[in-house]
């Protein structure tokens, strides 16, 4: 690979990235496609003049965009909301787009020019203020004092119903722009399923702070003793939108109460000790749940008394307990059968050590995980989400020629969320993940939840095809890769294996659309149809959406399911 010239500036690199072909699902590519689409709708038409007036008007050259000076202020009318969560407004010459964060269609705003991308046809700006608001803007909905500065959330001013509609259009555009499929094979995108909690939902936050100014001199890099501590408490928080500068964030209302309290504690500790820090750091905050059942005298047979320290005592839980007052801990055998307990107390704590074990309860299954390993960040929506997948993963109508589906492969399984919550639907399940710590957790979670029909393997997802013994026509594969999506060797092997159904879950609907395009196009003897496409709002107030695609093999005999 050619070396980047030493003198090439970051800005030159960003210019190059902004002109890259749209296939990697990055923010830049998604933005570029939205810009091109907006410009194409206003393109100056090259056709012969139809009237004398038109001919005369054409005699004077069309005005072309003259880029405003860097850091100058401009006024922009926003005409659409891009899939990146930024407002887009056309220049008065209709041939250039201003990208203004924290705005929605209909806003007329003042913005500061930051970076001009002539080839890509847009300029990034900083939002300054609203001159006249869009009818749909409701600033009373904004719950965070850092909104419109912090890079974390983009659309707090948009009523929730409209956030969900916008996310549906993100999924729609993703399949239009990234899947290379013709519109006939893309089903109508379902309504976005909302999050029960629209604030206070995020179970993980990672605010950070930079090292003291001048702490990383060449000398200090070589010798830590050369490093100097802070003279004042550093800003601890998240990046200022569009920059790498950290702004001080005292509270983050999209976080759960436990992680918000954790943030307060960590900030206090760092403030007390700030002079000792010679390097920047990331603060890790992950919610964890301590679940304890309640004792109800009428419904529960108490076998021994509660200890003041909450140590294990025994009980039999026989039903709901509206008048519960005492608390007891749960007997091991009861816990392992995973009963749908009607009464328990969940105590939430905040873990700050990434190596510690966090516990979450989803559909009353217990998930323990190394806190720093992957786990979904919005627990409030997970029961709706797993219920949807349970309902959609198997064919709705069984055809006589086809064998029933008995096997599940959970590629990119993490600590076993899908393998475990779906295990009762299958005779046997297998999970695979590249992270060894997640596989250790997945095995322990299966055991703790009394699931004996699941096995797990640490490996690259594409290796699973070397090991799998399940007959493809009786198998479903669920895929939930990281943002970059699946690599081609994985998709080609998946097509060669040819499972009866595929469920593709992703936090990046653009790479999902690209990969689903490959599966629908298929190979000789194996291609897929898209049964359903739908977004889930795992990330309220932000421009992100989780996509679910349900695919069925279209060339299985008697495919009338």
Ligand X SMILES: C[S@@+](CC[C@H](N)C(=O)[O-])C[C@H]1O[C@@H](n2cnc3c(N)ncnc32)[C@H](O)[C@@H]1O
Q: Any idea which residues carry the catalytic annotation? A: 507
- Cβ neighbors of 90 (< 8 A, separation 6 or more) are 38, 39, 42, 77, 79, 96, 97, 98
Estimate to the nearest angstrom the gap between the alpha carbon of 155 and the chain centroid.
15
**Can residue 481 be called a binding residue for ligand X (CB under 6 A)?**
yes
In the complex, minimum distance from the CB of residue 453 to ligand X, in angstroms, rounded to a whole number = 18
Smallest separation (angstroms) from ligand X to the CB of 501: 17
Buried (b) or exposed (e) across 501-510, using 16+ Cβ within 10 A? bbbbbbbbbb
The least distance separating ligand X from the CB of residue 386, rounded to whole angstroms, comes to 10
In what order do the strands lie in the sheet containing 97-100? Answer: 73-77, 108-117, 122-132, 97-100, 87-90, 80-81
Binder of ligand X out of 38, 220, 461, 545 (CB under 6 A): 461
Minimum CB–partner distance for residue 413 and ligand X (Å): 5
Phi (first) and psi of residue 205, to 5 degrees: -135, 145
Residue number with CB closer to ligand X (215 or 462): 462
Strand locations in 193-284 (E): 204-205, 208-209, 237-239, 246-248, 281-282
- And the tokens for 126? 């900083």
Residue 16 near residue 120, CB atoms below 8 Å: no
Residues 6+ apart with CB under 8 A from 429: 407, 408, 409, 410, 419, 422, 423, 453, 454, 455
30 SS3 class = helix
Is residue 470 part of an annotated ligand binding site?
Answer: no
Q: Report the helix count and the strand count for the chain, using DSSP H and E.
A: 13, 24
Q: DSSP state, 235? A: P
Instruction: Check whether 333 is labelled as a binding-site residue.
Output: no
Q: How many residues bind ligand X (CB under 6 A)?
A: 18
Locate the DSSP E strands across 363-461: 365-370, 407-411, 428-433, 454-458
- Tell me the two tokens of residue 204: 């993980």
Q: What share of the chain is helix, strand, coil (3-state, %, to 5)?
A: 30, 25, 45
Q: Where are the alpha helices (DSSP H) in 90-197?
A: 160-178
Nearest approach, Cβ of 410 to ligand X (angstroms)?
A: 7
Task: Report the residue number whose CB is nearest to ligand X.
Answer: 414
- Residue whose structure tokens are 């509270």: 251
Nearer to ligand X, 150 or 545 (CB): 545
487: annotated binding-site residue? no
CB of 378 to ligand X, least distance (A): 11
Q: Which parts of 381-440 interact with ligand X (CB under 6 A)?
A: 412-414, 417-418, 432-435, 438
**DSSP conformation letters of 259-275:** HHHHHHHHHHHHHHHGG
Annotated ligand binding at 354? The verdict is no
DSSP 312-347: ---EEE-S--TT---B-PPPHHHHHT----S-EEEE
524 contacts: CB under 8 Å, gap ≥ 6 = none
Closer CB to ligand X, 481 or 498, in the complex: 481
**Interacting positions 484-503 with ligand X (CB under 6 A):** none
Kindly indicate which of the ranges 188-196, 343-351, 356-364, 478-486 contains the residues binding ligand X, using the contact rule CB under 6 A: 478-486
Judge whether 263 and 276 are in contact, CB under 8 Å.
no
Nearer to ligand X, 16 or 483 (CB): 483
- According to the binding rule CB under 6 A, does residue 374 interact with ligand X? yes
Judge whether 290 and 330 are in contact, CB under 8 Å.
no
Contact flag: residue 194 with ligand X (CB under 6 A): no
Which one, of 336, 360, 331, lies nearest residue 451 by Cα?
A: 336
Q: Is 546 exposed, middle or buried (0-12, 13-18, 19+ CB in 10 A)?
A: buried
Q: Pick between residue 319 and residue 482 the one whose CB is nearest to ligand X.
A: 482
Q: Kindly state the smallest distance separating residue 530's Cβ from ligand X, in Å.
A: 20
Query: Please, what is the minimum distance in Å from the beta carbon of residue 547 to ligand X?
Result: 12
Asked if 366 interacts with ligand X (CB under 6 A), we say no
- 538 interacts with ligand X by CB under 6 A: no
Please, what is the minimum distance in Å from the beta carbon of residue 347 to ligand X? 23
User: Which residue number, 122 or 375, has a Cβ lying nearer to ligand X?
Assistant: 375
Q: By C-beta, is 29 or 511 nearer to ligand X?
A: 511
Question: Binding site membership: which residues?
Answer: 376, 412, 433, 480
List contacts with ligand X (CB under 6 A).
Answer: 374-376, 412-414, 417-418, 432-435, 438, 460-461, 480-482
Question: Binding site membership for S-adenosyl-L-methionine: which residues?
Answer: 376, 412, 433, 480
């Amino acid at each position: 690979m050619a070396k980047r010239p030493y003198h090439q500036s970051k800005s030159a690199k960003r210019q190059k990235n902004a002109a890259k072909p749209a296939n990697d699902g990055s923010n830049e590519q998604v933005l570029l496609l939205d810009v091109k689409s907006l410009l194409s709708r206003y393109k100056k038409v090259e056709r012969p003049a139809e009237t004398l007036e038109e001919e005369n008007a054409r005699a004077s050259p069309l005005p072309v965009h003259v880029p405003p000076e860097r850091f100058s202020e401009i006024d922009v009318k926003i005409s659409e909301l891009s899939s990146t969560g930024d407002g887009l407004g056309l220049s008065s010459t209709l041939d250039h787009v201003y990208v203004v964060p924290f705005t929605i269609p209909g806003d007329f705003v003042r913005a500061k020019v930051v970076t001009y991308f002539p080839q890509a046809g847009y300029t990034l700006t900083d939002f300054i203020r609203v001159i006249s608001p869009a009818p749909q803007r409701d600033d009373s909905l904004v719950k965070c004092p850092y909104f419109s500065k912090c890079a974390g959330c983009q659309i707090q001013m948009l009523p929730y119903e409209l956030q969900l509609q916008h996310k549906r259009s993100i999924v729609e555009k993703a399949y239009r722009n990234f899947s290379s499929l013709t519109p006939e094979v893309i089903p109508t995108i379902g309504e976005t399923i909302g999050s029960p909690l629209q604030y206070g939902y995020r179970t993980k936050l990672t605010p950070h702070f930079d090292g003291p100014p001048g702490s990383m001199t060449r000398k200090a890099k070589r010798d830590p003793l050369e490093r100097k501590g802070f003279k004042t408490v550093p800003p601890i928080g998240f990046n200022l939108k569009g920059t790498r500068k950290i702004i001080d964030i005292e509270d983050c209302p999209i976080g759960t109460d436990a992680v918000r309290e954790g943030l307060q504690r960590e900030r206090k500790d760092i403030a007390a000790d700030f002079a000792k820090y010679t390097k920047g750091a990331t603060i890790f905050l992950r919610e964890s749940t301590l679940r304890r059942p309640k004792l109800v005298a009428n419904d529960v047979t108490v076998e021994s008394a509660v200890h003041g320290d909450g140590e294990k005592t025994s009980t039999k839980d026989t039903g709901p307990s509206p008048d519960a007052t005492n608390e007891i801990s749960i007997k091991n055998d009861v816990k392992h059968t995973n009963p749908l307990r009607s009464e328990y107390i969940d105590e939430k704590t905040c873990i700050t050590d990434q190596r510690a074990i966090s516990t979450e309860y989803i559909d009353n299954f217990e998930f323990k995980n190394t806190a720093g390993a992957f786990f979904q960040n919005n627990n409030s929506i997970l029961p709706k989400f797993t219920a949807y997948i349970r309902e959609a993963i198997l064919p709705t109508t069984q055809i006589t020629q086809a064998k029933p589906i008995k096997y599940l492969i959970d590629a990119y399984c993490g600590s076993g969320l899908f393998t475990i919550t779906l295990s009762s639907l299958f005779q046997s399940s297998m999970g695979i993940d590249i992270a060894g710590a997640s596989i250790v957790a997945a095995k322990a979670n299966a055991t703790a939840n009394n699931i004996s029909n699941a096995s797990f393997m640490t490996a690259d997802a594409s290796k699973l095809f070397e090991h799998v013994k399940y007959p493809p026509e009786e198998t479903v594969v669920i895929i939930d890769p990281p943002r970059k999506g699946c690599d081609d060797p994985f998709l080609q092997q998946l097509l060669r294996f040819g499972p009866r159904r595929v469920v593709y879950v992703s936090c990046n609907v653009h790479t999902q659309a690209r990969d689903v395009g490959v599966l629908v196009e298929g190979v000789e003897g194996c291609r897929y149809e898209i049964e359903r496409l739908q977004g889930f709002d795992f990330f309220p107030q932000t421009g992100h959406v989780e996509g679910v695609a349900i695919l069925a093999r279209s060339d299985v005999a008697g495919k009338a399911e």
